[in-house]
Structure 1
Amino acid sequence: MPSIGFERIERVPIPSLGVTYERWRHPCGATHLHLACADQHRSFSVAFRTPPDDDRGLPHILEHTALCGSRRYPVRDPFFKMLRRSLQTFMNAVTFPDMTAYPFASQVDKDFTNLLAIYLDAAFRPNLDPLDFAQEGHRLERIEGLEGEADRWQRKGVVFNEMKGAMDSTDAQVEQACARALLGDTIYHFNSGGEPEAIPLLTHADLVAFHRRCYRPANACFATYGDFAPERLHAALADYIADDAGVPLPAPLPQPVTALKRTLRVPVPQAAGQDEREVASARIAWAWGDAADLDEALTGELIDRLLLGHAGAPLRHALESSDIGRSIDGSGYAAHYRSGMFSAQMDGLAVADYGRFAALVDTTIAGIATTGVPADELAAALHQLELTRREVGGDSYPFGLELC
């Protein structure tokens, strides 16, 4: 089958993974990354750059609404119907801080083809019905009052309710505040999932305009894995590429930040009589290079293992053996943003102990920088990291989607 408009510009065998990497490019700007192998457990993902302009949750609400029916499949919620009827091994849609992805996997070729058609039409030709926007995004709903009481209006919506619950978490508030503090001059200042107080400001017209700008072949990266001819995807995309409106693309993602360490304080609601240790959390975070740079990312993961990877690791031991707090969940290296981030976090501490926590972190890291890491610990951490990278499966994702 000839490729329609796409040109293969790279082909590299990767024997350690048993795949051959291929990169295809279309003149419109669409990119297709294919991992060719004999595995019948095929995987697909399409990802769009969806940088948020504010905290209204546009990328998140569009992710939900796009799956509520499309031009070719105008039925109610085809995504959830296929969750029940398909032979899929994985189906989902995910909003990240700077992109939105739609992955699936199936071991049955016919099922894979059906899901591919549904996903592509949902992405490029969704109905975006105002009623679906009200259901998935936000709406005002009248609640009948009890006898003798007046009716009242209540804000509802799938994403609105989801983010109310999510942002009630201290960890989520600290994470978002950390992004604002370290990456405040970039798109990561905004919450792509949506802040509950800002979501009601979003309009249906804004949703449609955002889809028109971002959900386009020219702004898409497609990834496939398994016994699948790339030309099948190229043929399926032909009509959608022809429909591309040609409106300006989203701005490129920001360059990595190289900010120095900063500390931050985030006010968290505290119930009357509640011990501040139940809600207080402290974090020290550093911007850590370019998360898209493999060397930077692997170094971050290695440092995470060396400092926090086991009970005897120096930073973990120093924090957990102190009497400052109860938990160090949230500590470590993360690559959620274009800039990586390394954090030391302590939950369940008194506000008066913030200074002790910061001093302990600084002293411990300075000591490691001075004395270095024993060679056997470094070798063990590198070995664990290599095993993790080579592991086939073992995660909640099919292997093909882990690679994609």
Structure 2
Amino acid sequence: MKFKIGDIYHGFKLIEEKNIEELNSVTRIFEHVKSGARLLHIENDDDNKVFSIGFRTPPKNNNGLPHILEHSVLCGSRKFPTKEPFVELIKGSLNTFLNAMTFSDKTIYPLASKNEKDFVNLMDVYLDAVFYPNLYSKPEILMQEGWHYELENKEDKLTYKGVVYNEMKGAFSSPEGSLMRKIQESLFPDTSYGVESGGDPEFIPDLTQEEFTEFHKKYYHPSNSYIFLYGDGNIEEQLQFISEKYLNNFDRIQIDSAIKLQKPFSKMEEVKMDYPISCDDEEEGKTFLSLNFVSGDNISQPEMHLALEILEYLLLESAAAPLKKALVDAEIGKDVFGSFDNSILQPVFSIVVKNSNESEKEKFKEVVFTTLKNLVRDGIDKKLIEACINITEFKLREADLGGFPKGLFYYITSMDSWLYDKDPTMHLEYESYLSKIKAALTTNYFEKLIEKYLIKNNHSSMVILNGKKGLAEKKSKVTEEKLEKYKASLSEKQVEEIVKSTKDLKERQMTPDPVEVLETIPLLELSDIEKKVEHLPLKENDEHGVKVLSHNIFTNKIAYINILFDAKKVDVELIPYVTLLSTILGRVSTQNTNYSDLSNEVNIHTGGIHFTTDVYGENENFEKYNPKLVVKSKALISSIPRLFDIIAEIISLTKFDEKKRLKELIQQLKSRYEMKILDRGHMVAAGRITSYFSPASAYIEKTTGISFYKFLNEIEMDFDNKADEIIENLNEVSKIIFNKNNLIISVTGEKDIYTTFAKELPKVISILGDEKLPDAKYDFVLSKDNEGLLTSSDVQYVAKGYNFIKKGYSYSGKMLVLKTIASLDYLWNRVRVQGGAYGGFANIARSGNIVFVSYRDPNVKETLKAYDGICEYIENFEASDREMTKYIIGTISDLDSPLTPSMKGERATAYYIRGITQEQRQKEREEVLSTNADDIKSFKALLSDIIKEDCFCVLGNETKIKDSKEIFTNLVNVFK
């Protein structure tokens, strides 16, 4: 269809149309004449279609209103009055992405699907949700998603409960998250960026129903909306649908939602706050120091959006980063990192030192500014600049976002200007900015940026975050006393009203939606689903005596080469060193090149070389697994020769005896693991519990779990005494692993990529050992430890499970449908809706492992009891054909998550190593498609056997876990 600027298409006036070469797309900007809605369309041949609608939603205070509203509009609407339409869509659509997100100044509702019919269905539910939500007539929605007083019996203690309330208690448990919030507060005291849009648990209970509905009425109007369409869909039909079904019902109005600029400071502000640490921790060395700068704006100088991002990487993220090196050398703290937040009107550049002390603040400031001034005076190393620009350009052109839809990334990027009334394509057209930035190779471009935005910038702050023992307990006590005082002030009638509202809410939550209400949610038919499993190309070759798996896939001249070394020859006591080795390689010097120059070489000539560990469990055999150390690399075809030169140098010539650098890397790795444990506690707990009964998981626990963190803690605390032993062990593990026996190489790309790869491969093969080594014996002691894993977190992550193969059962694809039902019906209702946790999931794997796990959960025993109830739920399970179709479609949606070319190569390689054939994958799909309600009920015995094992662990709040100490076999302080 041809478009003409100024013409009107189904109520939308075309304002602008242009080609954007960087995206290989045509973009069109529309405005809906009647309602005032803005719409950006990006047309190309991508079949992963994306729709999103967003609103400018500046918060006024810390009660979390924008965030709670984001949850609540998806709890039923005019056309789709079911209590949880969002969950119904996850259960029964072919979505490739479905979510909602609250930012500091906007709320967005994105979705994606490859199926046109499904795409329109999803769009319909989302548009009805944002414009016609049931939250006006159902106050229980705010109670459930936001907060409410919970009181089951008159004599009980009064508590707060709510999904967002507990989500944010978890978010505030992360010191890094608390630091970023305090940074914004310190720099924007007079604007909406100075408050927490997600909500501070202390203030969430201040939110009233009246304020809640007023916010929706004001901001959720088409005149304040930003609509986005992307991909190969029928744009004319999409515009007609959006206009006729929704936008034509509204008239254009004036809405004051403009984001205000913060007036610059005349001098740097200093702000201090405490964050909780465990009672057994030391306060010494637990301080975060940060220097933060408001760096211009997102709209007047669009190239700064990209230039400052590169500068942050150059100064603080690259292995050759000079500011990071100066701070590490000054021994102010044990980890250094930076951030550049360009998702807001006035971007923020931050420099952070972790595990420091407040007494170091002046030294911190001095080192930062002295280093920056020296860089301006002496100039930045041009090789470093070239490296940082090249790696950024490579990523921009590759546009490989993993499973994340490209369209959604482009929408979020467009909002960095569109939200502030500027051209939405401003930051998508990067070529002209990149050309200007490349001039830095012959000018003092980045030096000027440092001077303007960092050295001579008074709109800045020093934020100091001190670790404080007992703070979590103190805050908990204050909340408890506040609730006690409030309850004491109530009349008997008022107390009874709270008891009644608690009971009424629970009854509403436990009452299933009527069939006719559930059937308002549009549903595809099984005939809409592809019956054949996707073929992943794989050809087994022999090159120079090494097994090579080639994946002939179009990659636009980028070679993805993964080298998988056998790690099962490494003795059991050295297993943690496999991960340590993978972390250090490429980040310490070699005999030929210092680590800064090595980092520059990697970034100039490649798209990245990364060393990691992985464990491939054998198909349906929980006892057998293949641990690997993997070299993941990517480069343009022309750079393959240099790529292999660098890999060969790192593998054969790395110097492990640079003690100072080695200590720095161990400290940084330990710091990142602390962050992981607090931020991704559900994954940590799930990994820990499976190590009780699975040999493969026991191995993984030693390489990436809490056991590995304990190993890091031990060698970091006593590094000076252990340094020689650590170096010796790294050398030994390196010699064992870098051996061409059992080596597998995976190459993804076009035919000419493979030709170049095969020609250059001897560079790597020739430096490998070829001694035939025996497999190490791993007789892990598997025991039901049922641990309470103690942290300073304000929430819990509760895991329970076992291995069904150990109990005599076999894997079936029908179990994936069981997983969908368990996660999105039973656990969603019991753990999230009724229990107040942010999430509850079931995981069922071919290895036989079944794990139930909760996320940001206020409970311990109650969640374990909920897991136990799944047997009765499955025993009484009933579902119509329509409902079973819904569960099957949702399961297929999971199986068919979009894969990038590199992901296809990696997935095919994993199937090969695990022994999973195309026929077995097809059988699994057919089992999913043929699942019926009786199949689900038949899993009752299996689940009963799993639950009877009573195998569980809980990671979370020290006090909360100790309150239930009688149920645990061991209590473990995670960070000690």
**Same structural fold, with TM-score higher than 0.5 when normalized by the shorter chain:** yes
Residue 16 in 1 paired to residue 13 in 2?
Answer: no
In structure 2, what is the equivalent of residue 327 of structure 1?
A: 335
* Aligned match for 1:4, one of 7, 10, 26: 10
CA distance in 1, matches of 2:346, 2:268: 13
Flag the structure with more relative contact order, 1 or 2, with Cα contacts below 8 A and sequence separation at least 6.
Answer: 1
Deviations 1:212-271 (A, max 9, x none): 111111100111111123333332233432333766513311236544654432233455
Deviations 1:326-384 (A, max 9, x none): 2224x131123211111110111122122222211111111111112122222222111
Q: More helix per residue: 1 or 2? A: 2
CA distance in 2, matches of 1:360, 1:261: 16
- Unaligned residue ranges in structure 2 (runs of 5+): 2-7, 412-976
Equivalent position SS for 1:281: strand
Shift of 1:141: 0.8
**Closer/same/farther in 2, CA of residues 23 and 52 from structure 1, 3 Å limit:** same
CA distance in 1, matches of 2:335, 2:308: 21
CA distance in 1, matches of 2:22, 2:195: 39
Deviations 1:45-95 (A, max 9, x none): 111000111111110000000001111111121111111211111111000
1:321-400 correspondence to structure 2 within 5 Å = 321-329=329-337, 331-400=338-407
**Closer/same/farther in 2, CA of residues 114 and 76 from structure 1, 3 Å limit:** same
CA distance in 2, matches of 1:77, 1:343: 39
Equivalent position SS for 2:275: coil
> Matched residue pairs, number?
399
CA distance in 1, matches of 2:330, 2:402: 33
**Closer/same/farther in 2, CA of residues 246 and 133 from structure 1, 3 Å limit:** farther
Contact 1:258 1:288 in 2 (8 A): no
* Aligned match for 2:151, one of 130, 142, 153: 142
CA distance in 2, matches of 1:318, 1:50: 40
389-398 vs 61-70, greater mean Cα deviation: 389-398
Contact 1:268 1:279 in 2 (8 A): no
* Aligned match for 2:160, one of 151, 155, 159: 155
In structure 1, what is the equivalent of residue 535 of structure 2?
A: none
**Closer/same/farther in 2, CA of residues 246 and 10 from structure 1, 3 Å limit:** closer
In structure 2, what is the equivalent of residue 198 of structure 1?
A: 203
Contact 1:20 1:37 in 2 (8 A): yes
17-26 vs 264-273, greater mean Cα deviation: 264-273
Contact 2:36 2:253 in 1 (8 A): no
CA distance in 2, matches of 1:162, 1:278: 28
Contact 2:222 2:247 in 1 (8 A): yes
Residue 243 in 1 paired to residue 261 in 2?
Answer: no
In structure 1, what is the equivalent of residue 237 of structure 2?
A: 232
375-384 vs 154-163, greater mean Cα deviation: 375-384
Aligned partner of 1:322: which letter?
A
Deviations 1:172-192 (A, max 9, x none): 222122111111111111110
- Unaligned residue ranges in structure 1 (runs of 5+): none
Aligned partner of 1:215: which letter?
Y
* Aligned match for 2:317, one of 309, 318, 323: 309
Aligned partner of 1:318: which letter?
A
Deviations 1:13-50 (A, max 9, x none): 12232111111112332111011112211111111000
53-62 vs 201-210, greater mean Cα deviation: 201-210
CA distance in 1, matches of 2:246, 2:262: 33
Contact 2:191 2:262 in 1 (8 A): no
Aligned partner of 2:140: which letter?
L
In structure 1, what is the equivalent of residue 55 of structure 2?
A: 48
CA distance in 1, matches of 2:53, 2:110: 7
**Closer/same/farther in 2, CA of residues 169 and 20 from structure 1, 3 Å limit:** same
CA distance in 1, matches of 2:380, 2:120: 51
Aligned partner of 1:124: which letter?
F
Residue 210 in 1 paired to residue 219 in 2?
Answer: no
In structure 2, what is the equivalent of residue 290 of structure 1?
A: 297
In structure 2, what is the equivalent of residue 177 of structure 1?
A: 182
Contact 1:264 1:284 in 2 (8 A): no
Residue 100 in 1 paired to residue 110 in 2?
Answer: no
Equivalent position SS for 1:345: strand
Equivalent position SS for 1:289: coil
CA distance in 1, matches of 2:120, 2:59: 32
Aligned partner of 2:343: which letter?
H
Contact 1:261 1:286 in 2 (8 A): no
Shift of 1:278: 5.7
Aligned partner of 2:210: which letter?
A
**Closer/same/farther in 2, CA of residues 63 and 295 from structure 1, 3 Å limit:** same
Residue 37 in 1 paired to residue 44 in 2?
Answer: yes
Aligned partner of 2:394: which letter?
L
CA distance in 2, matches of 1:4, 1:256: 40
CA distance in 2, matches of 1:153, 1:25: 50
Aligned partner of 2:351: which letter?
A
**Closer/same/farther in 2, CA of residues 261 and 233 from structure 1, 3 Å limit:** farther
CA distance in 2, matches of 1:300, 1:143: 54
Equivalent position SS for 1:328: strand
Contact 1:257 1:339 in 2 (8 A): no
Equivalent position SS for 2:22: coil
Shift of 1:318: 1.5
Equivalent position SS for 1:16: helix
Aligned partner of 1:37: which letter?
N
Equivalent position SS for 2:79: coil
Q: What CA RMSD, in Å, does the superposition of the two structures yield over aligned residues? A: 2.0
In structure 2, what is the equivalent of residue 318 of structure 1?
A: 326
CA distance in 2, matches of 1:244, 1:30: 10
Equivalent position SS for 1:276: coil
Contact 2:100 2:107 in 1 (8 A): yes
**Closer/same/farther in 2, CA of residues 107 and 278 from structure 1, 3 Å limit:** farther
**Greater Rg by CA:** 2
CA distance in 2, matches of 1:92, 1:325: 38
Equivalent position SS for 1:266: strand
Equivalent position SS for 2:200: coil
Contact 1:50 1:59 in 2 (8 A): yes
Residue 131 in 1 paired to residue 140 in 2?
Answer: yes
Q: TM-score, normalised by structure 2?
A: 0.40
Aligned partner of 2:145: which letter?
E
Shift of 1:387: 1.5
In structure 1, what is the equivalent of residue 408 of structure 2?
A: 401
Aligned partner of 1:183: which letter?
F
Equivalent position SS for 2:336: coil
In structure 2, what is the equivalent of residue 63 of structure 1?
A: 70
CA distance in 2, matches of 1:281, 1:336: 23
CA distance in 2, matches of 1:151, 1:140: 12
CA distance in 1, matches of 2:198, 2:251: 26
Deviations 1:95-151 (A, max 9, x none): 000000001111111111110101111111111121111100000111559xxxx41
